[in-house]
Structure 1
């Protein structure tokens, strides 16, 4: 009658030795060489601790309806025209003050509850003898991030264009982009830059000087700038027609850099450590099997035991 193998299981053999034996010392050394070198290899390969990470988020941006405009005229004799939404600044301008017509509109194009683009139009009335050759414009925004830390700041878009030929209209189409000199925190509330870009209550002219405003703003670690503006300068203004600034400013999604938290650092480090440790476990498992099976160190083999690992070391 033919016989068939109906069931099988691996046999297991144990090896006994004293705690102060060479076999015990070998196992201790093998364990140290199994678990410590992978840690050193992972650490020395750089990037073991995750010091900076990033994620993508659509910011919540709102135009604050704060404007500061300086328009340079054709000659030094003509001077400049200025206007802002800050009454204190306007009082300082004297005869240079010229009140424009301003219209704004924000759109949520993808209906996600966050604004995506600002349409800004400014019409500056001019006399027939006045010609604009350069423009400096500041628009302020409320800028918020919520996915990791709650980051709230007041930011601005600065536009400056100058041309040799007097213009009738300046058209700008750009993105309001986030600039980071240092990463944000992974959690909590960050309102360190939730202060006005322009001190609109100050009666002093130095607080409205563009060099002072720009210098104070650039001292921040997190700012916004108007990028890819591609200004188009149109000429041929009719007599008594206003000078027009048309701006389309988009609020794109940003890749935010942040400092990871403790558990994220551990998770990232653990993956690297285990990936190297598996190789060491495989190698030293076969080294230990060879040493004990060939009695390189003196042990007492015991009878086969229930199914388990290929062998066990029993120290008495």
Structure 2
């Protein structure tokens, strides 16, 4: 059995960023919030200006969206044809079971024409391959999406990170119905700008109901059908006897017969 309920998750941006920009001519530039990854980038490292701000729009104590902006400085001869951006979050549900994980939003956009900025507005949506539990603590995925302490380049390769992340049964994905907007026309001295607005919407959570919840639901169904059945049967019985549809012979109970014989004797 499966059931579902609606809940707005408690999401917070962890300020972990991994950026790869595809430059014209086949090269790449990048930056991350991890010192080991930046050392591996070497001459391809570009130090951006980053700003991030979360908002609680309805003032209910739960953050509703993230405003993220990154300005990547480039050399006068560099042009950007594509970007890959990864942001990480902590994601928590607590209405039924307490589910805690570290998740990510992945943005990828490219164009044959060099751009000046990319703009995206979307939702951080939950993806489930299996239902959650109805009680208890579930923190199996409360581990870092990116191993920021690793000195190895393969641990910062986006292909490897995404592949490992997709093996989870519960993930988040950045869903933008309109898609990223690619803007062209950058002056040589201007930075390449990534501007993202990520909403944290209410989700429909699928979970495995407990024993007592199933019994309660089954009992309600049973009682409702039982009362209807009794009412119909009573109406049928009354109709049959009042209209003498069936031949009936009155039969006295055994105790009444014995009492009648005693009076006769």
In the superposition, the TM-score normalised over structure 2's length comes to: 0.88
1:278 Cα deviation from its structure 2 partner:
3.0
Equivalent residue in structure 1 for 2:92, among 136, 144, 152 = 144
Work out which of the residue numbers 225, 229, 237 in structure 2 matches 1:276: 225
Q: 1:239 aligns with which of 176, 185, 188?
A: 188
Q: CA deviation at 1:246?
A: 0.6
Structure 1 partner of 2:24? 74
CA RMSD, aligned part only?
2.3
Alignment deviations for residues 236-282 of structure 1 (CA, whole Å, 9 cap, x no partner): 10121100001111111111111111111011112222333334434
Residue in 2 aligned with 1:20?
A: none
Q: Tell me the equivalent position of 1:265.
A: 214
- Distance in 1 (CA, whole Å) between partners of 2:15 and 2:112 is 30
User: RCO (CA 8 Å, sep 6+): is it higher in 1 or 2?
Assistant: 1
Task: Tell me the secondary structure at the aligned position of residue 140 of structure 2.
Answer: strand
Of the candidates 198, 214, 217, which is equivalent to residue 249 of structure 1? 198
2: distance between equivalents of 1:299 and 1:128?
A: 111
Aligned residues: 250
Kindly report which structure 2 residues correspond to 1:48-127, keeping only aligned pairs within 5 A, or say none. Answer: 51-76=1-26, 79-127=27-75
Gaps of 5+ in 2: 242-246, 257-265
How far apart are residue 186 of structure 1 and its match?
A: 0.8
Q: CA deviation at 1:142?
A: 0.6
Paired residue for 1:178? Answer: 126
Unaligned 5+ segments in structure 1 are 1-50, 304-316
Structure 1 runs, 4 residues or longer, greater than 2 Å off:
271-290, 293-296
Length-normalised TM-score, structure 1 = 0.74
Deviation sequence 1:163-220 (CA, Å, 0-9, x none):
0000001111111111111111111111011000011111111111111111111111
Among 163, 167, 175, the alignment partner of 2:115 is 167
* Counterpart-to-counterpart distance in 2, 1:238 and 1:302: 109
1:295 Cα deviation from its structure 2 partner: 4.2
Provide, for residues 68-123 of structure 1, a one-character-per-residue CA deviation record: whole Å limited to 9, x for no partner. 000000112xx000110111111111111111110111111110011111110000
Matched residue SS, 2:139 = strand
